[in-house]
Amino acid sequence: MNHRLSSLTQTIISRYQRAALAFLILLSLVTLVVALSAVGDAALRAEWPRLAGMLACLGFMLGVAWLTPLRVLTVWGQLALIGLELAAAAGAQLLTAAPLIDYIYLVLVLQGIILFRPWVWAIMAIGVWAIWAIVRYQLSNDLIGWLQSNLAIAFPATCAIIAAFIYARHVHRSEQMQSMLQQMQQRYAAFSALLREMQQRAASEERQRLLHLLASEVQQALANAEQSVATALALAQTNLGRVQAVIDVPRAAAANAIERLRAIVMALRYQPGSHEPSPRLALAGAVDETLIAPRPNHVLAWLLPSLFVSLSLGLALLQPRPLSISALLWFLALGGLLIVASACTQQVRHAVFVQLGLAAQTLTITLMAAMTNLLPLLWGLLLVAWQMASRLSLLQWLLFAAVLPLLLMVVGFWQPFVLDVTTTVSLLMAMVLVSAPLLLARYQLRRRQQVEWQVKLLEAEMQQQADEMQAITVAAERARLAREVHDDLGSKLVLINLELQLAAELAAEDAAAARDHLANSRELLHSAWQSLLAVADAELPVQGATLAAHLRRLAEQCAQSTRARVALEVQGEIDHLAAPVTHCIYRAVQEGLTNACKHARADTIAVQVKAEGGYVVVTITNNDQPDRILPPIDLGSGSFGLIGLRERAEALGGGLEAGPLPDGGWRLRLVLPAEGGG
């Protein structure tokens, strides 16, 4: 049942514009009241042909309004539709002269506010007023009566038109906010792709920032080491006897480069990056300020009561029996009091003072109507209805509605006046036409605020994800750079230092061999430069097809620099491994050999790479010889290499273990899935 009702509602809304539908319902209610009022009038029933003609005109007007889908009409089509409705209303009024038909004209004007641009609506409104004025004059044939009719309808029409404009403005803003929410939801749906772009940009920016750090620290140290090695090698080429004398300078430069590298790794690991926060994800448009607020517009607060007092004064002066001077002065005093009370009431915040202000305005307006015996002045109660619809809650509405009859009774005891049915119905209809748009505007305001809150939540969530992603990306880039710098540059600097150490040991015994080790150190320095550029560009050093060759190269460099025997064994197919797995294997072998060179006194190092059963196992062992004396080579405190290697392995879904063997020596073991799945 609920599903069928919802489907029917959606069908009706899809046939008409949502905002115009509200005024179409108002038109139907006003027409129904006019018809019932006419049928209940005995004088009109006596002229039943005219009454039947009026009802036929009203039925035709409603039929045209409901059966014509507004969405499919152009502006000219909508104008033609309102023209037909206007002609039907004018025909009904000419047939019966029912005063309540005036409100049908007003509803047509209000409907045009939603449908048309302001300049089109202004032309249409002038046309509707002209037709109404002509029909009114034809019916009364009295200029004074015609002027009184204009003055009587002017204030309710003005209030209703302003209320309709407020409603139309809120509908427009709600549609804008709804469109903004849809755009934000679409952006949120595509946010994963945007995050990837932002991640790449953040990584690139952090990489460029860290390049300056590398350039100022490591590159200068490498340049000094390379220059000192080149100078020592040039002297050794011309005079082998001077090798021992010049070897200390490049060794000191290499030690300085190692110290610089250690400081860089320490900074990258333990010092937070000073990155800028991610840019704000801007909305499609700014959030508009609310129009109906606890403290309404200051202009309307003074304009509406002033307009009512001015129109009331005109009605009082045009009545057949003019007011006396004293009555006119009392009337002006009450009018001034009403203006001040209305403006002040709309500035206070506390509900009790608002209720008191509304009560004072109700008493003042009723006294003005009673003392002048002009019932149209009761239309001033629209001021009270305006403030109630704009500011009061439902409970406050009910409370004031209960007090209102008591206020009218008090005035009636002091200054008797009689309310006929037509005046009462007219007043109620005017209040509906003013209050309904304002209440709908409040609903649109709450709806827009909810949508605005959803937009802000989505924006905040996207911004939080972007900030977290940037922080994670920057940290990952710093960790990546720390691993690459330590594993690649660190291992090469260790080998350079070992080469220089061997050159120093052999300088006195075999100058030619010392010179060869100097040449090897220069080649390693060239390789270090290439490694630095590769690290900066985030390039993987090896691919699967070349992994075995690169591993053999690492083994040869280690054997050459330490004079230890390095045995490399590769089992299984490793040429087609995933690039991250290949890279991790290369770094594991590089780290294991480097640690063996730095810390172990081994004469045999065994490297085994085994691919089997969907996994790759890398094992590096050395037979540490405590009695073998080698000068220690230090890269600084802390196991940065093993930390970085463990991070690599865990990121690929693998594991790492390293520790001493029961029979002496050391073993490093790495296990990775061949596909590298995390």
Q: What is the C-alpha separation between 642 and 619, in angstroms, rounded? A: 14
CATH: 3.30.565.10, 3.30.70.100, 3.30.530.20, 3.10.20.30. Which one for 544-678?
Answer: 3.30.565.10
**What pLDDT score does 241 carry?**
55
The span from the CA of 460 to the CA of 613, in Å, is 47
Task: Give the per-residue pLDDT at 582.
Answer: 87
Residue-level pLDDT at 336: 92
**Cβ 576 vs Cβ 544: under 8 Å:** yes
Mean pLDDT per 10-residue section of the chain, whose length is 678 residues? 51 55 83 85 81 90 84 83 90 84 87 83 88 84 80 86 86 83 78 72 69 61 65 62 61 67 64 52 39 54 88 84 83 91 85 83 85 82 85 72 64 60 80 85 86 84 79 73 67 70 69 70 66 58 78 82 82 85 85 75 85 89 64 45 78 85 85 77
Indicate yes or no: pTM above 0.75.
Answer: no
Is the CA virtual torsion 48, 49, 50, 51 positive or negative?
Answer: positive
Domain coordinates in residue numbering, the chain: 544-678
**192 vs 205, 214, 308, 350, 465, CA distance in Å?**
20, 32, 59, 48, 10
Per-residue pLDDT, 417:
59
Which ranges of 41-101 would DSSP assign to H, the alpha helix? Answer: 42-46, 48-67, 75-96
Q: How far apart are CA 226 and CA 525, in angstroms?
A: 6
